Chains A and B, each alone.
Chain A
Amino acid sequence: MATKKFMYLNRRSSFGTVYAIESLEVVLIAAAFEQDVSLAFMDDGVYQIVEGQNTDGIGMKNFSKTFHALGDYDINKLYVSKESLEERGLSESDLMPLVYEDEDDDWAEKSSIKVVTNDELKAIMSEQDVCLSF
């Protein structure tokens, strides 16, 4: 099967609407198709990977821990909009430490998160074959 570049664009926060968790469900299924997968987080989507989410009071499943599994599925390109973080008073240190093991570098543990400007994100998006927006 042909390999295409798939980007999953996340623009909404973890809870409040169903988009975030159902987007992650697509990403996990997509991992089985051996495509070139990346994720982008912008607007309120940056809240999806903030560290320390707690759903005890709202009766929802805390699915944020699932993001830690992405590295094991060879999904290790997570682009985060610098402007979206700054607009919300957030920085990279507020995000979960999402990592993968680089098989080309003696399985060294590396960060999957790349904070990029919107201009950089625009360039990355324009390289994609398929962009799924959630």
Chain B
Amino acid sequence: MKFAIQVNEGPYQHQAADSAFQFAKAAIENGHEIMRVFFYHDGVNNASNFTLPPQDDRHVVNNWASLNIKNAEGEPELVVCVAAALRRGMLDESEATKNAIEGYNLHPAFRISGLGQLIEAGIQSDRLVVFGD
């Protein structure tokens, strides 16, 4: 089955991101496809390359990256909503340059795009599964 996933909460504060990751991992291991994971609301914080949990804790951001979810063109299909990301200080290199801000924090396994990608995922997948509070 072709799944799309929406993650509405940030890492560590809520379990939603962990549950979504576990679901995605299990789906892939069982031969299903995760065509896109869309991060919205505080979920955009799952993409922070500056995340440094203690060594005895799970690394939520690296967990996502380990799934290696990409499309046929090789682009990441871990997609962060641009409006939600910018208002929470989550930037990629292009947004940082555009807004004259030094430094950026989007993990390279993710990409920033618009809300249309969420709707498209709902249309193209067999199931869209929402993880939130």
Contacts and interface: CB of A to CB of B under 8 A. Distances in A.
B45 to A, nearest CB: 13
Given A26-B115, A29-B115, A32-B116, A132 B123 contact: no
A132 B128 contact: yes
Interface in A117-134: 129-134
Contact of A25 (B115, B120, B128): B115
A25 B120 CA distance: 15
Interface residues of B, number: 18
A133 B8 CA distance: 10
A25 B115 CA distance: 8
Q: Is the interface of A mostly helix, strand, loop or mixed?
A: mixed
Interface stretch (A1-9, A75-83, A85-93, A97-105): A1-9
Contacts of B116: 29, 32-33
B132 interface: yes
A108 interface: no
A2 B123 contact: yes
A22 B84 contact: yes
Nearest to A129: B122
Q: Which of B41, B119, B122 counts the most A-chain CB atoms under 10 A from its CB?
A: B119
B114 A29 contact: yes
Q: Which of A18, A30, A132 counts the most B-chain CB atoms under 10 A from its CB?
A: A132
A18 B63 CA distance: 26
B119 A35 contact: yes
Nearest to A2: B123
Contacts of B84: 22
Interface string B60-96: 0000000000000000000000011000000000000
B130 A25 contact: no
Given A18-B41, A26-B118, A29-B114, A133 B123 contact: no
Contacts of A1: 123
A68 B118 CA distance: 24
Interface of B: 6, 8, 40-42, 83-84, 114-116, 118-120, 122-123, 128, 130, 132
15 contacts: A6-B119, A19-B8, A22-B41, A26-B119, A29-B116, A29-B118, A30-B115, A30-B119, A33-B116, A33-B119, A33-B120, A35-B123, A132-B6, A133-B130, A134-B132
